[in-house]
Amino acid sequence: MEHTNKEGKPRVVQSCNIPLTGAGVVDLLITELCAFRFEKQKGGVRVMWLSELAEGVTVEQVKAKTMANFKVDPNIKTMPLAPVPVPHE
């Protein structure tokens, strides 16, 4: 998923204002900037954890482009970039 829309506004928000097909069913959210994992706590509260950062991306950059509250995993990892195939000429 792209982290922001075409206008640069965050797509990762605190709450959704459109109809949902299933609330609380996402365990992992991956964007070009990072990966978030969701953990269910006591009382059914779900916590969003920043678990991986794409190479060259900082926590501050993710915070600036995310409207949802999240915690930073103390064991945060780097998400390696996938190699882009180069067509042979």
Burial call 61-80: b when 16+ CB within 10 Å, e when fewer: ebeebbeeebeebeeeeebe
Which of the four pLDDT bands, split at 50, 70 and 90, describes residue 19?
low
Averaged confidence pLDDT in the chain: 86
pLDDT value of position 66: 94
Does 35 score more than 70 pLDDT?
yes
**2 vs 62: which has the higher pLDDT:** 62
Separation CA 87–CA 89 (nearest Å) = 6
Which of the four pLDDT bands, split at 50, 70 and 90, describes residue 63?
very high
Does 29 score more than 80 pLDDT?
yes
